Amino acid sequence: MKFKSQRVAYLFFATSLLLFTLQIVFGFIMGFAHMGFDVLHDYIPFNAARASHLNLLVVWLLSGFMGATYYIVPEESDREIYSEKLAVVQWAALVIVAVIAIIGFHMNWWEGRKFLEIPRPLDYLVVLDILLFLFNVGMTVWNAKRFTTTVSVLLLGLVSAAFLYLPGMITFESQVLDSYFRWWVVHLWVEGVWELIMGGILAFLLIKLTGVDREVIEKWLYVIVGFTFLSGILGTGHHYYFIGAPEYWLLVGGVFGALEPLAFLGMALYAVTMARRGGMRHPNRIALFWTVGCGVMSFVGAGFLGFAHTLPQVNLWTHGTIVTAMHGHMAFWGAYAMLVLAIISYAMPQMTGRKLFTGWLPEWAFWTSNVGMIGMTGAFAVAGIAQVYMERKIGMDFLAVQEAIEVHFLGLVLAAALLSLGVGMFIWNFIQYGLPNDEAVTGA
């Protein structure tokens, strides 16, 4: 690494992997519950497990994005982080909020509203924490010698993500309005501003790992940002079909939702083309695997499987079934989990000076986790489609259907075990790297 303060990223990366592990534990609890073994029900009811699974996911990804930002911004801007101490304070605040939220869910302290379950008082802490983070990054960039396109796209994503947290904090009497604005957070995050964060981090990784000129990589970044806004904003309509919003959303959501995969196709072509152009010669091959894998798998999970249920004619049947979980898993994995694992894979040798990216461990971590996630997506797909036919087409009772599809969750749990093995290997590799090392600082 160029600057000593970049080491603070390690704290965020380690936190990410710890919370990721916890997220997986709650995943298994739900997987077994779906199989009919809801043995922990008295202590961890399904709703608490689900809220924990989802919020841990969001927090470990945000922690990964923050770590990535603290690593990338000094390098791109050619200066130390404005205040490393503030970064540590802000990290601690994030951890405190996460711990209180998870304990709270188990004591029935939550708001419902999938993904936004964190109770209101904690929301204010989240806002404060994000403001501290943005202040620190903003001050770093403010007086910098350089301001690159990569950093501006990353910052635009981070600042917009902060603003878009606010619509989720308004209180409505009407269920329709509440739902309507919940999507401004949930949809406009993952299919809008987080894509900018993704574009920024991918561009940084591609510049470093492929050797292709920055001008070329950053030029295509603009094209992706363009596609994202063009389709993603009005694409919000694919959540407005059946929630009581006006009927024109059927058309708007249908058309713009169907265009959304283009941005992810762009992301996949971008990563593959740049990697090929660079000749895949970088010694840290595994970081390039995760980078290109992120582009490709995000297209499969978000683009392809998102398209599978985005048209109103299809969504009429699939809405609110396990089909959504099929898409949600692969989309989050491909676009955002792999992105965080990519930047960790790239940054760890740079921060520690150790080159532990060769050998079987990191490579097996990559393949095992990905094959596991593909298996999980398949299991959710089979369960989801069976559910749609029995419950919606034939009209069987909801609970009778849940029992009928229990068997498919055995497949889910087996595939999830494979994913967990891969993630375990990744984490073992991470631990082997050890802590950041001052000797690894190369200077500007």
Determine the interface stretch with ligand HEM among 21-29, 282-290, 382-390, 392-400 (rule: CB under 6 A).
21-29
Name every residue whose Cβ is closer than 8 Å to that of residue 113 and which is 6 or more positions away in sequence: 168, 178, 182
Q: Which amino acid is at 331?
A: A
Q: Judged by CB under 6 A, which of 154, 155, 344, 416 binds ligand HEM? A: 416
Separation between Cα atoms, residue 203 and residue 5, nearest integer Å: 22
Note whether 67 binds ligand HEM by CB under 6 A.
no
Site for ligand HEM in 357-396 (CB under 6 A): none
Determine the longest span between alpha carbons in the chain, in angstroms: 67
DSSP 183: H
| Rg of the Cα atoms in the chain | 21
395 Ramachandran zone, left/alpha/beta (phi>0; psi -120 to 50): left
Nearer residue to ligand HEM within complex by CB, 208 or 238: 238
Note whether 238 binds ligand HEM by CB under 6 A.
yes
Determine the interface stretch with Fe ion among 5-13, 93-101, 188-196, 364-372 (rule: CB under 5 A).
188-196
Site for ligand HEM in 264-293 (CB under 6 A): 264
Name every residue whose Cβ is closer than 8 Å to that of residue 146 and which is 6 or more positions away in sequence: 76, 77, 78
Note whether 306 binds ligand HEM by CB under 6 A.
yes
Residue found under tokens 């959710």: 380
CA angle 140, 142, 148 (to 5 degrees): 85
Nearest to 193 by CA among 52, 62, 294: 62
Note whether 337 binds ligand HEM by CB under 6 A.
yes
Q: Judged by CB under 6 A, which of 137, 239, 348, 405 binds ligand HEM? A: 239
* Minimum separation from the CB atom of position 202 to ligand HEM (A): 13
Note whether 327 binds Fe ion by CB under 5 A.
no
* Minimum separation from the CB atom of position 440 to ligand HEM (A): 30
Chain center to CA of 422 = 18
Q: Judged by CB under 6 A, which of 75, 76, 129, 191 binds ligand HEM? A: 191
* Minimum separation from the CB atom of position 165 to ligand HEM (A): 15
Nearest to 257 by CA among 206, 305, 198, 222: 305
Nearer residue to ligand HEM within complex by CB, 55 or 90: 55
Q: Which amino acid is at 345?
A: S
Separation between Cα atoms, residue 384 and residue 313, nearest integer Å: 17
Strand ranges, E, within 145-210: none
Q: Judged by CB under 6 A, which of 17, 30, 94, 197 binds ligand HEM? A: 30
| 429, 342 Cβ separation under 8 angstroms | no
| 115, 54 Cβ separation under 8 angstroms | yes
* Minimum separation from the CB atom of position 55 to Fe ion (A): 19
Note whether 208 binds ligand HEM by CB under 6 A.
no
| 271, 232 Cβ separation under 8 angstroms | no
Phi and psi, residue 37, nearest 5°: -105, 70
Determine the interface stretch with Fe ion among 63-71, 99-107, 167-175, 189-197 (rule: CB under 5 A).
189-197
Note whether 328 binds ligand HEM by CB under 6 A.
yes
How many chain residues bind ligand HEM (CB under 6 A)? Answer: 46
46 SS3 class: helix
Nearest to 313 by CA among 384, 258, 275, 234: 258
Site for Fe ion in 191-230 (CB under 5 A): 191
Note whether 186 binds ligand HEM by CB under 6 A.
yes
| 323, 388 Cβ separation under 8 angstroms | yes
Site string for ligand HEM, 99-138 (x = CB under 6 A): ---------------xx-----------------------
Nearer residue to ligand HEM within complex by CB, 214 or 392: 392
Separation between Cα atoms, residue 122 and residue 130, nearest integer Å: 12
Note whether 327 binds ligand HEM by CB under 6 A.
yes
Determine the interface stretch with ligand HEM among 35-43, 69-77, 302-310, 350-358 (rule: CB under 6 A).
302-310
CA angle 320, 199, 216 (to 5 degrees): 145
Q: Judged by CB under 6 A, which of 295, 303, 312, 375 binds ligand HEM? A: 303
Note whether 187 binds Fe ion by CB under 5 A.
yes
Nearer residue to ligand HEM within complex by CB, 328 or 362: 328
Residue 12 interface partner, choices ligand HEM, Fe ion, none, CB cut-off 5-8 Å depending on type? none
Q: Please report, as ranges, the residues that interact with Fe ion according to CB under 5 A.
A: 187, 191
Q: Which residues bind ligand HEM (CB under 6 A)?
A: 24, 27-28, 30-31, 34, 50, 53-54, 57, 114-115, 186, 190-191, 238-239, 257, 260-261, 264, 298, 302-303, 306-307, 309-310, 315, 318-320, 324-325, 327-329, 331-333, 335, 337, 412, 416, 419-420
